[in-house]
Amino acid sequence: MPAVLWIDGVRAVVYPNDHAPGHFHVLGPDAEAVFVLNCPDGPLCLRETFGFAAARLRRIDAILSASIASLCEAWERIDGDR
C-alpha cells in the first residue's frame, strides 16, 4: 500500500484495487481514519475513525483538505485504472 502523504508521523495510504468512492486510509500506530475524497474538488469527508484524538484528527483533516487535488490524482494513479 503506497504511502502518499506523511502527516505528523502517520501516513495516508491508498490500497490498490480498493472500492469506490475514492478515499484514503490514515494509519497511525494505534489509530486509523478513512477520508472520502469527493474528487476532483472535495470536500473531504471523514467516513470513520478510531484511536485519534479530536485535535489531531482536525489537523490531519486540514492538511488533507489543503492537498485535495494531489490526493485525487494519487487515487486515480493507484486505484483508478481498474
pLDDT value of residue 48: 96
CA distances from 18 to 76, 81, 82 (A): 11, 11, 10
Sign of CA dihedral 15, 68, 38, 32: positive
The confidence score (pLDDT) of residue 36 equals 95
Per-residue model confidence (pLDDT) at position 76: 87
User: Domain-by-domain residue ranges, the chain?
Assistant: 11-76
pTM: 0.87
pLDDT tens digits along 3-41:
788 888 899 998 888 888 989 999 999 999 999 999 988
- Chain centre distance of CA 10: 11
What's the burial of 39, exposed, middle or buried (CB within 10 Å: 0-12/13-18/19+)?
middle
- What pLDDT, on the 0 to 100 scale, is given for residue 52? 95
Contact 14, 75 (CB under 8 A): yes
Q: What is the pLDDT of residues 33-82, one digit of tens each?
A: 999 999 988 899 999 999 999 999 999 999 999 989 988 998 888 876 54
